[in-house]
């Protein structure tokens, strides 16, 4: 039997009949032309928030962690919630850049640079919280196994310590991965910018890249190796974050589904954050040809899938809490949904499980407005998820006499708000000074990069070229 | 470069007697096993359950792959897809093979024992879920859904072969998307029903994901070996190319790591918390011969395949990938044995001949069903809209 159908090509990843040259100018011009006025305004606001963050941290270190809302029995509050939230957001970058790369998903090229940058800044925001929560930050180096005359060693049995290593490794590898990917594009900018200083700086960081064959070979090999290294890190970081909770024996925390559930949740919130930022930037900078509706749709599908994984985990937790026959386990979950924090639980459930269901419809998946609103809703939901897990499991513990209701203080709130200042200050600098789309990689997925001598039906063209 | 074309014959040789031989084996092994039903009834049902989960999990892994293939519009999978598609189209028969278990429930599941329920409040509390009627209803639902999905995906695909009607390709995605959603829940609850409730006091939220991870890992091994079998018969040698084998081996490698991650995660969290309620399950599985199996699983299902399949070149070396597939399939059975059997033989692993005869019988049925169906339709979707892209992969 022969084939009756012909080859149906996928929609082109880059729309709008671009040439290699026009892609370079589309992305390069953003860096080379003066920043628009909105950028200065946004940067000023972000800096103000960053200042707020620094002030809050200084106040915290001066006064001690008592300025936070922590008190018995809730010994973990907004700090860990914010930590997990930010570090979770960071996961999308590595997922897009490393895992989708290993799966040879060409569509990642439009958003990987962007997502990787977001990862790095999100991990920076995340790292603040565990660092400052120790109280006496001036002895933070005690987390490292340094020989000392007090014979004092970190507790290697504690996932909190593994976190230090996991997050710092993750940050380092993500940064390296981002930088290696940037090298060819930095060389492009070096060759294009007019200012002497720009030429020197881009030139320095481009490491003498000339785009020679040998260089590309080395580049691709190192990129592949870094992708291979980064992939287990995506799993490990959030797995260890989930261990922070799950190795304990607190009902609501000790449940075996936590590792994959946290990873799915992290990818979920990370994609939502990439979506929010991408929809704004593609509009402002006119990158609709590179970050197309197809990209948005694919990302929305991933949001839907991971949202359902998170929903699956919620349902499994609830079911097994009942099935376990363990009264404390049952109480922890019933209390989550109907206790004093029910409002938080239902916000979480609505935002994370119900809202992504809109993406079953193709119309919603390809609607910019819907994508934008839902991406923000998802991140609100994921913040509440961490809040629900952390606080509700602690507030009503085994001894009813010590039950309490946790509320954050103004320091908690303003510190969290301040982290957005850190994030956006960095992000705006990135948009201003670095190519926000991987120029070289986008070119690789354009049809021009695949010259061939057969037509779309696979028939050879009359003229044989080699 | 020359654009690839479909040049192989797409039909499995009519004269091949593969399925008849397999059904013959199944019948003989089945009849021998029946003797065991009368001599050692309890053992029979435990051995039966082990082998049943073995074939059912392969079917489930295949079903998942077919659905995810359509959702992701995978290109490499086009030439391979008919293999898992055919395996999973037989879920109805797998469901029929579940019926004997319903007759052995009183031997398998302690929660069917009224005397125990009267004594043990913890298990009695679970009766709203763990009771015979609901158990049967649930399993009818699971197999109903899986049979429907497997059958529908298979018939749509074979109709596409015949008619070239591309709306069928879109229809596959309409089945697959909700299919995956339902698959997740049904597989999880099936894992609770079949295996977790053997020890009704024990519970783990990860257990459904654990069965899924095992199933998906073994699916790759089964598919790879099926392709190698076809290649040994000089079938599809130009259609399923090294590029396709490289991609499927890459995913085989990836999901071997995923399996290890899930299996270790579950073990580790229970080990670390060391709750009497949940640690006993593992305690019984690290004792009296079961500990050897556990180490075998660690090395054979993760460490060795991980090291051997890590290099990029290994993924096109069919000696390595093929031998790892054999290893994984064998250990997949060992793992189910390791999960199921400690309930029957607590403290010491006791090998019984029924374990082997039933494994042979059920596997031969499963493979026989595969080959009898595989010859009635094309071995590759000749009208798949992504076939050309798939053939041109290099």
| Å between A111 CA and nearest CA of chain B | 18
Contacts of B325 (CB under 8 A, 6+ apart): B220, B221, B222, B224, B225, B228, B252
Rounded Cα distance, A230 and A336, in Å: 35
Pick from A372, A161, A195: nearest CA to A281: A372
CA angle at B179 for the pair B265 and A97, rounded to the nearest 5°: 55
B193 and B139 Cβ atoms separated by less than 8 Å: yes
Asked whether the beta carbons of residue B261 and residue A259 sit closer than 8 angstroms, the reply is yes
Write down the H helix ranges in A247-351: 258-284, 293-323, 327-338, 342-349
Q: Can you tell me the distance from the alpha carbon of B347 to that of B285, in angstroms, rounded to the nearest whole number?
A: 8
Separation between Cα atoms, residue A271 and residue A368, nearest integer Å: 15
Distance CA B119, CA B371 (A): 50
Closest alpha carbon within chain A to B121:
A325
Asked whether residue A459 carries a pLDDT value surpassing 70, the answer given is no
In this predicted structure, the answer to whether residue A465 has a pLDDT above a threshold of 70 is: no
Element (H, E) at A58: helix A37-63
- Which residues, in sequence order, are CB contacts of B361 under 8 Å at separation 6+? B25, B26, B27, B29, B30, B33, B51
Of B71, B208, B275, the CB nearest to A316: B208
**Chain B residues within an 8 Å CB radius of A324:** 203, 277
Q: Cα–Cα distances in Å, from B210 out to A4, A173, A334, B57, B195?
A: 42, 29, 26, 11, 11
Of the partner residues A3, A255, A452, the one whose CB lies closest to the CB of residue B387: A3
A299 pLDDT above the threshold of 80:
yes
Q: What is the pLDDT of residue A460?
A: 63
- Tokens encoding B181: 């959603």
CB contact under 8 A, A8 and B164: no
| C-alpha span between B175 and B141 (Å, rounded) | 17
Whether B85 has its CB under 8 Å from any CB of chain A: the answer is: no
Q: What is the DSSP string of A348-398?
A: HHIIIIIGGGGGGSHHHHT-HHHHHHHHHHHHHHHHHHHHIIIIIHHHS-S
Q: Which of A99, A253, A254, A256 to mutate to test the interface with B (most CBs of B within 10 A)?
A: A256
**Tally of CB atoms within 10 A around B191:** 25
* ipTM for this model: 0.91
Question: Using CA atoms in the order B328, B245, B74, A274, what is the torsion angle rounded to 10 degrees?
Answer: 70
Distance CA A264, CA A346 (A): 19
Task: Find residue A74's DSSP bridge partners.
Answer: A71
Could you tell me the pLDDT band of residue A205, with boundaries at 50, 70 and 90?
very high
Q: Print pLDDT tens along chain B (394 aa).
A: 445 677 777 788 877 788 899 999 999 999 999 998 999 999 999 999 999 999 999 999 999 999 999 998 888 888 899 999 999 999 999 999 999 999 999 999 999 999 998 998 889 999 999 999 999 999 999 999 999 999 999 999 999 988 888 888 889 999 999 999 999 999 999 999 999 999 999 999 999 999 999 999 999 999 999 999 999 988 888 888 888 999 999 999 999 999 999 999 999 999 998 888 889 999 999 988 899 999 999 999 999 999 999 998 999 999 999 999 999 999 999 999 999 999 999 888 888 999 999 999 999 999 999 999 988 888 888 888 888 888 877 7
Cβ distance B164 to A360 less than 8 Å, yes or no, reads no
Is the CA virtual torsion A123, A124, A126, A127 positive or negative? positive
CA distances from A229 to A234, A243, B6, B80 (A): 9, 21, 38, 29
Closest Cα of chain A to B149: distance in Å? 19
CB contact under 8 A, A320 and B262: no
Residue B127 contacts A where some CB pair is shorter than 8 Å: no
Chain B partners within 8 Å of A360 (Cβ): 177
- Quickly state the pLDDT bin for A231 (edges 50, 70, 90): confident
Q: Do A247 and B272 touch (CB under 8 A)?
A: yes
How many Cβ contacts (< 8 angstroms) between chains A and B? Answer: 117
* pLDDT in the model for residue B30: 93
Q: Contact A254/B275, CB-based, under 8 Å?
A: yes
Total residues belonging to chain A = 466
Residue ranges of domains in chain A, CATH in brackets: 23-145+154-448 (1.20.1630.10)
What pLDDT does residue A81 have? Answer: 94
Whole-angstrom CA distances from A373 to A166, A279, A323, A344 are: 32, 11, 37, 20
Q: What is the CA radius of gyration of chain A?
A: 24
What SS3 state is found at B302?
helix
Two structure tokens written together for B260: 């290890």
- Substitution target in B205, B243, B254, B377 with the highest count of A β-carbons within 10 Å is B205
A151: left (phi over 0), alpha (psi -120 to 50) or beta: left
Cβ-defined contact of B383 to A3 (cutoff 8 Å):
yes
Token couple for B42: 């309890």
* pLDDT recorded at residue A8: 58
DSSP secondary structure, B370-381, as one string: HHHHHTTSBSS-
CA-based nearest residue in chain B for residue A323: B126
The residue of chain A with its CA nearest to that of B3 is A458
Helices and strands in chain A, H and E counts: 17, 0
Q: Which chain B residue has the Cα nearest residue A319?
A: B205
d(CA A159, CA B219): 34
Contact residues, chain B, for A243 at CB < 8 Å: 269
Instruction: Report the distance separating Cα A223 and Cα A180, nearest Å.
Output: 7
Q: How many Å apart are CA A329 and CA B137, to the nearest integer?
A: 27
Query: Rounded to an integer, what distance in angstroms lies between the CA atom of residue A265 and that of residue A303?
Result: 10
d(CA B217, CA B256): 6
A453: buried, middle or exposed (CB in 10 Å: 19+, 13-18, 0-12)?
middle
The answer, for B272 touching chain A at a CB cutoff of 8 Å, is yes
Which chain A residues are closer than 8 Å to B1 by Cβ? 452-453
The Cα of A259 is separated from the nearest Cα of chain B by a number of Å equal to 7
Of the candidates B51, B373, B43, B110, the residue with the CA atom closest to the CA atom of residue B226: B373
Residue carrying the six token digits 């290890």: B260
Name the residue among B262, B269, B384 with its Cβ closest to that of A247.
Answer: B269
Angle between helices A112-133 and A258-284 (to 10 degrees): 120
Could you identify the residue written with the tokens 């082998």?
A: B51
Count of other CB atoms within 10 angstroms of residue A386: 23
Q: Which residues of B touch A294 (CB under 8 A)?
A: none
Can the peptide bond before residue A444 be classed as cis, meaning omega within 30 degrees of 0?
A: no
Contacts of B71 in chain A (CB under 8 A): 301
Instruction: Write down the pLDDT at residue A453.
Output: 67
Q: Give me chain A's average pLDDT, please.
A: 88
End-to-end CA distance of chain B, in Å?
A: 10
- Would you call B269 an interface residue with chain A, using a CB distance cutoff of 8 Å? yes
- Compute the nearest-CA separation of B52 from chain A (Å): 25
In a 10 Å sphere around its CB, with 0-12 CB exposed, 13-18 middle and 19+ buried, how is residue A131 labelled? Answer: middle
Percent of chain A with pLDDT over 90: 50
**Residues in CB range of B243: below 8 A, 6 or more apart:** B76, B393, B394
Residue A30 CB neighbours (<10 A) = 22
Task: Give the model confidence (pLDDT) of A78-107 as tens digits.
Answer: 999 999 999 999 887 887 778 888 877 888
Question: What is the rounded distance in angstroms from the CA atom of residue A176 to the CA atom of residue A16?
Answer: 33
CB-CB neighbors (< 8 A) of A459 in chain B? 3
Question: Closest Cα partner for A128 from A62, A45, A60?
Answer: A60
């Amino acid at each position: 039997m022969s084939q009756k159908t012909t080859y149906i090509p996928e929609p082109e990843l880059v729309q709008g009949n671009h040439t290699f040259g026009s892609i370079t100018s589309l992305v390069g011009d953003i860096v080379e032309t003066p920043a628009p006025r909105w950028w200065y305004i946004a940067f000023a606001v972000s800096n103000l928030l960053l200042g707020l963050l620094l002030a809050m941290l200084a106040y915290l270190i001066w006064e001690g962690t008592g300025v936070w809302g922590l008190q018995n029995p809730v010994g973990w509050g907004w700090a860990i919630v914010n930590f997990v939230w930010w570090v979770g957001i960071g996961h999308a970058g590595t997922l897009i850049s490393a895992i989708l790369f290993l799966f040879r998903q060409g569509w990642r090229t439009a958003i990987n640079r962007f997502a990787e940058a977001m990862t790095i800044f999100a991990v920076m925001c995340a790292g603040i919280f565990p660092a400052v929560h120790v109280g006496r930050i001036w002895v933070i180096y005690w987390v490292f196994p340094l020989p000392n005359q007090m014979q004092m060693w970190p507790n290697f049995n504690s996932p909190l310590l593994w976190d230090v290593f996991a997050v710092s490794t993750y940050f380092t590898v993500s940064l390296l991965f981002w930088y290696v990917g940037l090298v060819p594009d930095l060389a492009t900018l070096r060759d294009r910018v007019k200012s002497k200083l720009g030429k020197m700086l881009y030139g320095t960081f481009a490491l003498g890249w000339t785009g020679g064959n040998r260089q590309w070979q080395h580049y691709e090999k190192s990129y592949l190796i870094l992708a291979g290294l980064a992939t287990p890190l995506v799993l490990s970081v959030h797995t260890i974050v989930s261990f922070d909770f799950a190795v304990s024996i607190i009902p609501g925390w000790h449940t075996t589904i936590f590792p994959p559930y946290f990873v799915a949740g992290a990818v979920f919130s990370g994609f939502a954050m990439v979506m929010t930022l991408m929809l704004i930037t593609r509009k402002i900078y006119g990158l609709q040809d590179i970050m197309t509706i197809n990209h948005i749709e694919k990302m929305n599908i991933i949001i839907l899938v991971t949202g359902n994984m998170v929903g699956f985990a919620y349902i499994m937790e609830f079911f097994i809490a009942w099935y376990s026959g363990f009264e404390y386990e049952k109480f922890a979950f019933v209390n989550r949904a109907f206790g004093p924090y029910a409002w938080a639980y239902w916000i979480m459930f609505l935002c994370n499980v119900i809202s992504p269901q809109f993406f079953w419809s193709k119309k919603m998946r390809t609607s910019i407005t819907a994508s934008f609103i839902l991406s923000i809703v998802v991140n609100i939901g994921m913040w509440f998820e961490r809040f629900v897990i952390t606080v509700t499991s602690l507030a009503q513990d085994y001894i009813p006499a010590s039950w309490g209701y946790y509320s954050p203080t103004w320091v908690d709130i303003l510190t969290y708000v301040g982290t957005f200042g850190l994030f956006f200050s960095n992000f705006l600098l990135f948009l201003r000074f670095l190519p926000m789309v991987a120029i070289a990689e986008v070119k690789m997925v354009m049809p021009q990069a695949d010259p061939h001598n057969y037509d779309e039906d696979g028939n050879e063209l009359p003229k044989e070229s080699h | 470069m020359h654009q690839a074309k479909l040049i192989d014959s797409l039909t499995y040789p009519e004269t091949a007697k593969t399925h008849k031989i397999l059904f013959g084996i199944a019948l003989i092994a089945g009849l021998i096993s029946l003797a065991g039903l009368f001599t050692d009834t309890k053992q029979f049902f435990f051995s039966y359950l082990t082998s049943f989960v073995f074939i059912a999990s392969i079917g489930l892994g295949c079903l998942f792959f077919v659905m995810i293939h359509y959702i992701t519009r995978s290109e490499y999978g086009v030439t391979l897809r008919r293999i898992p598609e055919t395996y999973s189209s037989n879920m109805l028969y797998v469901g029929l093979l579940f019926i004997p278990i319903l007759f052995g429930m009183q031997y398998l599941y302690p929660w069917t024992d009224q005397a125990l329920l009267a004594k043990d409040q913890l298990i009695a509390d679970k009766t709203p879920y763990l009771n015979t009627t609901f158990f049967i209803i649930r399993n009818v639902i699971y197999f109903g859904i899986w049979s429907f999905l497997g059958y529908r995906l298979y018939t749509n695909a074979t109709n596409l072969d015949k008619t070239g009607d591309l709306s069928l390709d879109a229809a596959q995605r309409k089945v697959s998307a909700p299919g995956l959603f339902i698959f997740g829940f049904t597989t999880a609850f099936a894992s609770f029903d079949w295996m977790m409730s053997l020890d009704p006091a024990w519970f783990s939220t990860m257990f459904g994901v654990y069965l899924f991870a095992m199933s998906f890992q073994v699916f790759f091994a089964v598919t790879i070996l099926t392709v190698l079998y076809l290649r040994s018969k000089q079938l599809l040698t130009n259609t399923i190319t090294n590029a396709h084998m490289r991609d499927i081996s890459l995913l085989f490698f990836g999901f071997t790591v995923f399996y290890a991650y899930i299996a270790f995660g579950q073990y580790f969290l229970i080990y670390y918390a060391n709750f009497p309620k949940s640690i006993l399950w593992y305690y019984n599985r690290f004792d009296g011969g079961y500990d050897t199996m556990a180490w075998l699983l660690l090395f054979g299902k993760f460490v060795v395949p991980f090291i051997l399949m890590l290099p990029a070149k290994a993924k096109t070396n069919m000696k390595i990938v093929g031998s790892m597939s054999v290893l994984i399939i064998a250990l997949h059975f060992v793992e189910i044995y390791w999960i199921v059997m400690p309930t029957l033989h607590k403290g010491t692993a006791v090998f019984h001949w029924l374990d082997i005869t039933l494994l042979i019988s059920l596997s031969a049925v499963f493979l026989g069903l595969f080959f009898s169906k595989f010859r009635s339709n094309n071995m590759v979707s000749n009208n798949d809209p992504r076939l050309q892209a798939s053939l041109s992969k290099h």
